[in-house]
Amino acid sequence: MAEKMELKEVEVWDGNYAASQALRQAQVDVVSAYPITPSTPIVENYGAYVANGYVDGEFVMVESEHAAMSGCVGAAAAGGRVATATSSQGFALMVEVLYQASGMRLPIVMTVVNRALASPLNVRGDHGDMYLGRDSGWVQIDAFNAQEAYDLTLCAFKIGEDMRVRLPVMMHQDGFLTSHTAQNVHPLSDDEAYKFVGDYKPYEEMLDFTKPVTYGAQTEEDWHYEHKARQHKALMESKDVIDEVFAEFKKLTGREYKRVESYMMDDAEVAIVALGTTVETARVAAEQLREEGIKAGVVAPRCFRPFPFDEIRDALENTKAIAVLDRSAPMGAMGALFNEVSAALYTTPNRPLVTNFIYGLGGRDFSVEEAKRIFKEQKAHADAGHITTPIQQFSGVRGPKLGFFETKRGN
Amino acid sequence: MVEIRWHSRAGQGAVTGAKGLGDVVARTGKEVQAFALYGSAKRGAAMRAYNRIDDKPIINHEKYMLPDYVLVIDPALAFTDNITENDKPTTKYIITTHLSKDELVAQIPELQDKKERVFVVDAIGISLDTIGRSMPNTPILGALMKVSGMYELDFFLDSMKSVLAKFPQKIIDANMEAMTRAYNEVK
């Protein structure tokens, strides 16, 4: 039996430590991992838990992230609870196997500490790796601080392993801004946490020799499409299970999570939509602007996949002007979050004005002052009744001001 | 909100110090944030660590800060790093040095109009005497307690004992002595 760890009611943990504690409490059978900055401490801490007897499972050290995720696929297909961690280049190297994991419907949990993608090489936080995973068939959930990184990692097991879902889950947090920032965290006891996550229920496991099964079979045009359609349906419908798990978590802890988080949106005229720690920094800006009489609010997809199309509409459709912030280099297009939010809002009667900001690449600081400036620009659009700037702009970049595309509405 | 900026070299324990302070503060029911700015840092490279302390949850994640306290735990960084960056009229400086305050301020033009807000303590000398190696992070916290009046020394030492609980008793005792000396010697 694994040893139990005594935790205080309030711990001061960074996001990495919080995520590693959640993995320990879930009593994962196999962690197969290759450490990479800034998620290294998750793997390192987990290794220490194994060495010190706090974990019964196996810890497999491999030679690359491709092998790490392959090890996860094998262990999950064999019938175990499986988890890993990665970032950036490691994530990129895993991509081929990410699609294998989701296609085989293996409920692996991966804690992803978001980091920029090279080149140029950069170890700091942006959402390039998270966006790289967005078509991979995984559930993607985003934490905005260390407490959430802990809470939602516990939830991730319960979501992915539910028999109605059986899909892998990525639990994202911002590199350094969450992963290396220590804050007050209220953990559950080991018993409470494990009881919440529950025992792992194997499904068509390869180690059940009485019932041989095949994973990763070849299907050409006869069946591939049906498999993919069914997988998409499962991912779309996982939203109900996510809501149920969040509700159960709230009952246990009082901490409430929604697939779309809304702050000060009841009467908001202007809004910022963002992911990660920026959501919280933008809330500080919105609070300050409300003292100046600007009705500002913040909306954040807690769940990046499945994309909460309906809830985004509900949160934003009565807003006048919205800035959607993408912390990933869009490379020849509008930001992905902008495109998805815009698509949702296009089907509302009011069709608010929506603009796109690229920001914070490679860890560039995003300040409260900058968030306030962006809100004020949205206020100017709202007052003018049309977008008064290019539709896509770059926030906080040095050099000449960059802007792309003009509106065809309103002028 | 109280904001603290640490100027340190990688390996001097600023991150541990910032997190240790955070641990103590969290025990008193306050909310804390402790983070550091270092990239692919090598031991000895200049780096900065930060604390925010407040009565309500801290949701500001910007790196930009107007510090209430600046802790300089490497003597040379007082000369080479921009320690007065984003200075407020009330920012207090606690600087590790073997020099007297007058000698130090005379050599750093940026500090000359802030002299009444500058405090000095030989945190490296104290740590060499007590802990036996250069580890200025805990003594500077003793000095911070004196200058800020944040907590009574006895309460702070008691809290730090449990923060340091994983270390052997000898090291805990040495750290207690280092913090007490810095508390009493900071000028």
Whether residue A280 and residue B64 make contact (CB cut-off 8 A), yes or no, is no
Residues of chain A in Cβ contact (below 8 Å) with chain B:
10-12, 14, 37, 123-124, 145, 174, 176-178, 180-184, 277-278, 280-281, 283-284, 365-369
Nearest residue of B to residue A371, measured between CA atoms: B62
Which residues in A127-138 are b (16+ Cβ under 10 Å) and which e?
Answer: bbbbbbbbebbb
The pair of structure tokens assigned to B47 is 């780096």
Q: Which of B19, B62, B65 should one mutate to test binding to chain A, selecting the residue with the greatest count of A CBs within 10 A?
A: B62
For B33-65, the pLDDT digits (tens) are 999 877 666 888 999 999 999 999 999 999 899
A375-399 burial: b if 16+ Cβ within 10 Å, else e:
bebbbebbeeeebbebbbbbbeeee
Residue partners of A305: CB distance under 8 A and separation at least 6: A134, A138, A139, A140, A235
Cβ atoms < 10 Å from Cβ of B91: 18
Q: Which pLDDT belongs to residue A411?
A: 57
Phi, psi at residue A135, to the nearest 5°? -105, 10
Q: How far is B50 from chain A (nearest CA, A)?
A: 9
Mutate to test the interface with A, among B61, B63, B65, B86 (most CBs of A within 10 A): B61
Q: Tell me the β-bridge partners of B46.
A: B9
Contact B23, B159 (CB under 8 A): yes
Judged by CB atoms closer than 8 Å, whether chains meet at B34 and A182 is answered as: yes
Structure token pair of residue A313: 């509409």
pLDDT at B1: 94
A182: distance to nearest CA of chain B, Å?
Answer: 5
Say if residue B18's pLDDT is above 90: yes
Q: Do B27 and A368 touch (CB under 8 A)?
A: no
Check CB contact under 8 Å for B26 and A10: yes
The reply to whether omega before A212 is within 30° of 0 (cis) is no
CB contact under 8 A, A10 and B33: no
Task: Rounding to the nearest 10 degrees, give the CA dihedral for residues A387, A391, A392, A397.
Answer: -30
Cis peptide before B162 (omega within 30 of 0): no
Which residues from B are below 8 Å from A278, CB to CB?
61
The total number of residues shown for chain B amounts to: 187
Q: Where are the beta strands (DSSP E) in A117-257?
A: 139-142, 169-174, 182-185
Size of interface A-B (CB pairs under 8 A): 67
Backbone angles phi, psi at A212, to 5 degrees: -65, 135
Identify the CA nearest to B72 among candidates B54, B52, B99. Answer: B99
Q: Which of A12, A176, A364 has the highest number of chain B CBs within 10 A, making it the mutation to test binding with B?
A: A12
Chain A hits for B27, Cβ within 8 Å: 10
Min Cα separation A363/chain B (Å) = 10
pLDDT at B40: 66
Residues of B with CB under 8 A from a CB of A: 18-19, 22-23, 26-27, 31-36, 39-40, 57-64
**Each residue's pLDDT expressed in tens, for chain A with a length of 411 residues:** 899 999 999 999 999 999 999 999 999 999 999 999 999 999 999 999 999 999 999 999 999 999 999 999 999 999 999 999 999 999 999 999 999 999 999 999 999 999 999 999 999 999 999 999 999 999 999 999 999 999 999 999 999 999 999 999 999 999 999 999 999 999 999 999 999 999 999 999 999 999 999 999 999 999 999 999 999 999 999 999 999 999 999 999 999 999 999 999 999 999 999 999 999 999 999 999 999 999 999 999 999 999 999 999 999 999 999 999 999 999 999 999 999 999 999 999 999 999 999 999 999 999 999 999 999 999 999 999 999 999 999 999 999 999 999 999 875
Task: Give the integer Cα–Cα distance in Å for B55 and A327.
Answer: 30
Domains of chain A by residue range: 11-253, 260-404
Which of B39, B58, B64 has the CB atom closest to A183's CB atom? Answer: B58
- Tell me the CATH class for A260-404: alpha beta
Looking at the domain A11-253, which fold is it?
Rossmann fold (3.40.50)
Answer yes or no: do A367 and B58 touch at CB < 8 A: no
Residue with tokens 């007082």: B78
Q: What pLDDT, on a 0 to 100 scale, did the predictor assign at position B36?
A: 87
* DSSP-based three-state secondary structure for A376: helix
Q: Work out the number of other CB atoms within 10 angstroms of the CB of residue A146.
A: 27
- CA A30, CA A32: separation in Å to the nearest integer? 6
Distance (Å, whole) CA A200 – CA A354: 44
Residue of A182, A278, A284 lying closest to B19 (CB–CB): A182
Contacts of A47 (CB under 8 A, 6+ apart): A59
- Which H or E element spans position B169? helix B169-185
Residue in A11, A123, A366 nearest the CB of B40: A123
Instruction: Quick: pLDDT tens for A367-394.
Output: 999 999 999 999 999 999 999 999 999 9
How far is residue A392 from each of residues A88, A335, A350, A351, measured CA to CA in Å? 25, 8, 21, 18
CA angle A270, A171, B57 (to 5 degrees): 55
CB contact under 8 A, A176 and B35: yes
Q: Count of residues for chain A?
A: 411
Q: Could you write out the DSSP letters of every residue in A245-295?
A: HHHHHHHHHS----SEEEES-TT-SEEEE--TTHHHHHHHHHHHHHHTT--
A180–B35 CB contact, under 8 Å: yes
Closest-CA residue to A235 (of A172, A301, A303): A303
H/E/C letters for each residue in A284-334? HHHHHHHHCCCCEEEEEECEEECCCHHHHHHHHCCCCEEEEEECCCCCCCC
Where do the structural domains in chain B lie, given as residue ranges?
2-185
pLDDT of residue B37: 77
Tell me if B31 and A183 make a contact (CB, 8 A cut-off).
yes
SS3 B150: coil
Contact present, A387 and A353 (Cβ < 8 Å): yes
- Choosing among 2.160.10.10, 3.40.1010.20, 3.40.920.10, 3.30.428.10, the CATH entry for B2-185 is 3.40.920.10
pLDDT in tens, A74-132: 999 999 999 999 999 999 999 999 999 999 999 999 999 999 999 999 999 999 999 99
Q: Nearest CA of chain A to the CA of B172: how many Å?
A: 20
Q: Do A11 and B26 touch (CB under 8 A)?
A: yes
Name the residue in chain A with its Cα closest to that of B60.
A281
Distances, alpha carbon A232 to alpha carbons A308, B49, B66, in Å? 14, 44, 48
Half-sphere exposure at residue A225, Cβ-oriented, CA atoms within 13 angstroms: 2
On whether the CB atoms of residues A162 and A201 are closer than 8 A, the answer is: no
